[in-house]
Amino acid sequence: MRDTGEYLFTSESVSEGHPDKVADRISDTVLDAFLSADPYSRVACETLVTTNRVVIAGEVRGPGSVTPDYLKHLARLAIHDIGYEQDGFHWQNASVECHLHAQSAHIAQGVDAAGNKDEGAGDQGIMFGYACTETPELMPAPLYYAHLILRRINELRRIKNPSVEGLLPDAKSQVTLKYVDGKPVGATSIVLSTQHVEGMEQAQIKAMVKPLIAAALPDGWMCPDAELYVNPTGQFVIGGPDGDCGLTGRKIIVDTYGGAAPHGGGAFSGKDPTKVDRSAAYAARYVAKNVVAAGLADKCTIQVSYAIGVAKPLSVYFDLHGTGRDVDEVKLAKVIDGLVNLSPRGIREHLHLNRPIYVPTSAYGHFGRTPDDETGTFTWERTDLVPELKRAFGR
């Protein structure tokens, strides 16, 4: 995004009950099940959800104690936790199929450490990390508030708060913010589409969610009432996987930076940390966030690239978007190289990724979340590199 003039920028989010997010949740449930049984399991799990049907497929290498029947049971529990007990998609009645098979030996030989060879990347690819000063979480503001609106509504729905009575799990939000000289100053329009029970009127739902949306935004940021679009098609009763087929990995921009930064193309959910699509994207966010948290720049983008079976990154690129405070990007790359090992093994050990920590990432974004030392989740959101970075640049 530009740092001069006035412009509008929009990002969207989807709730945990969105069909694609249901698929992500099940894939990450499978991953966590294998990592719980063996922290070095290999998992590449894809899920399809549609009307009363769930299909789980992919490649794994892990203990036989994680059986297809057990994974089907966990999938049902995940659907129940999200809140689906509808005729077209019910946690008890849906057909659940599991078609996981052994990981390719040719992929395994490239990834496994052997002799003098370190653990290699699970695939080729480019990954990006990003951070900016638009929010305390160092995330782009349009995406942050799009997530927050849905999270707040969903939290109330889960505890059956009367203020959201009648709202169901599937929902989408979209937030358009006005920027002046690179800083967000308020919302110009907001879209919220939320599934609901039969019989609720559009005006009733708008009156219900308007105060919740306003409360999620900073003071004075609420858009005009005419620019608040709630269920603009009028009715949203048929939703979730019954209304639209869902697939793992189809909301990668929602998962990352809402379009405010580049995305390498690889999805996250259902992949163990040898897959750099996931682990290196986490590491790149970790580095970018620490650079901004240290006050070295207002914005930071990092790109990292890998080749399958090769441990060392092929390239590491920094862009401070002209906001660096007397920080040379070449020196920054060297400093980071001394602080963080960006090989697949280095990443998973530094960020403690070989643990069953992934279900919480499957909705409302993988970044901008609060790290939890007790559960070990979102370690890539820590800012523990800040002292070393400040010292390296004399701050």
For residue 336, being part of any structural domain is answered with yes
Q: Looking at the structure, do residues 350 and 297 belong to the same domain, yes or no?
A: yes
pLDDT of residue 124: 86
For residue 321, being part of any structural domain is answered with yes
Confirm or deny that 172 is annotated as ligand binding.
Answer: yes
The residue type found at 103 is Q
Q: Looking at the structure, do residues 280 and 380 belong to the same domain, yes or no?
A: yes
Confirm or deny that 352 is annotated as ligand binding.
Answer: no
Residue 374 pLDDT > 70: yes
List, for residues 158-175, the tens digit of each pLDDT value: 999 999 999 999 999 999
Residue 48 pLDDT > 90: yes
Confirm or deny that 204 is annotated as ligand binding.
Answer: no
Give just the sign of the alpha carbon dihedral 216, 221, 222, 226: negative
- For the ranges 66-80, 113-127, 167-181, 212-226, which has the lowest average pLDDT? 113-127
For residue 332, being part of any structural domain is answered with yes
Rounded CA separation 120/235 (Å): 50
For residue 219, being part of any structural domain is answered with yes
CB distance 300 to 284 below 8 Å:
no
Record the tokens describing residue 116, joined without a space: 């003098």
Rounded CA separation 13/22 (Å): 14
Could you write out the three-class secondary structure of 173-240?
A: EEEEEEEECCEEEEEEEEEEEEEECCCCCHHHHHHHHHHHHHHHCCCCCCCCHHHEEECCCCCCCCCH
For residue 19, being part of any structural domain is answered with no
For residue 331, being part of any structural domain is answered with yes
Q: Looking at the structure, do residues 210 and 293 belong to the same domain, yes or no?
A: no
Mean pLDDT of 29-50: 97
Q: Looking at the structure, do residues 291 and 378 belong to the same domain, yes or no?
A: yes
Output the domain CATH number for residue 236: 3.30.300.10
Number of domains in the chain: 2
Confirm or deny that 374 is annotated as ligand binding.
Answer: no
CB distance 100 to 57 below 8 Å:
yes
Three-state SS at 341? coil
CB distance 46 to 97 below 8 Å:
no
Confirm or deny that 267 is annotated as ligand binding.
Answer: yes
Confirm or deny that 297 is annotated as ligand binding.
Answer: no
Mean pLDDT of 290-315: 95
Q: Looking at the structure, do residues 157 and 227 belong to the same domain, yes or no?
A: yes
Confirm or deny that 311 is annotated as ligand binding.
Answer: no
Q: Looking at the structure, do residues 370 and 335 belong to the same domain, yes or no?
A: yes
Q: Looking at the structure, do residues 167 and 196 belong to the same domain, yes or no?
A: yes
List, for residues 314-326, the tens digit of each pLDDT value: 999 999 999 998 9
Record the tokens describing residue 368, joined without a space: 């901008």
Mean pLDDT of 264-292: 95
Residue 20 pLDDT > 80: yes
pLDDT of residue 96: 98
Residue 224 pLDDT > 90: yes
Mean pLDDT of 104-123: 60
Rounded CA separation 12/29 (Å): 24
Confirm or deny that 20 is annotated as ligand binding.
Answer: yes
Confirm or deny that 178 is annotated as ligand binding.
Answer: no
Rounded CA separation 102/363 (Å): 28
Rounded CA separation 395/374 (Å): 31
1-6, long-range: CB within 8 Å, 24+ apart, which pairs?
A: 1/140, 1/179, 1/182, 1/260, 2/179, 2/182, 3/181, 3/182, 3/321, 3/322, 3/323, 4/181, 4/182, 5/181, 6/178, 6/179, 6/180, 6/181
Q: Looking at the structure, do residues 205 and 290 belong to the same domain, yes or no?
A: no
Confirm or deny that 170 is annotated as ligand binding.
Answer: yes
Q: Which of 88, 89, 91 is nearest to 74 (CA)?
A: 91
Q: Looking at the structure, do residues 160 and 210 belong to the same domain, yes or no?
A: yes
The residue type found at 285 is R
For residue 70, being part of any structural domain is answered with no
pLDDT of residue 110: 55
Confirm or deny that 160 is annotated as ligand binding.
Answer: no
pLDDT of residue 112: 58
More confident of the two residues 266 and 118:
266
pLDDT of residue 5: 87
Q: Looking at the structure, do residues 289 and 352 belong to the same domain, yes or no?
A: yes
Confirm or deny that 272 is annotated as ligand binding.
Answer: no
Residue 116 pLDDT > 50: no
Q: Looking at the structure, do residues 354 and 329 belong to the same domain, yes or no?
A: yes
Phi, psi of 134 (to 5 degrees): -70, -25
Residue at a domain's end among 240, 261, 295: 240
The model's pTM: 0.95
Residue at a domain's end among 240, 268, 292: 240
Mean pLDDT of 328-348: 94
Q: Which of 79, 91, 88 is nearest to 22 (CA)?
A: 79
For residue 224, being part of any structural domain is answered with yes
Confirm or deny that 271 is annotated as ligand binding.
Answer: yes
CB distance 288 to 131 below 8 Å:
yes
Rounded CA separation 150/190 (Å): 12
pLDDT of residue 357: 98
Q: Looking at the structure, do residues 234 and 284 belong to the same domain, yes or no?
A: no
328: DSSP letter: -
Residue at a domain's end among 240, 268, 288: 240
Q: Tell me which residue range forms the domain holding 196.
A: 6-13+141-240
Rounded CA separation 177/149 (Å): 14
How high is the mean pLDDT of the chain?
A: 94
Confirm or deny that 331 is annotated as ligand binding.
Answer: no
pLDDT of residue 169: 97
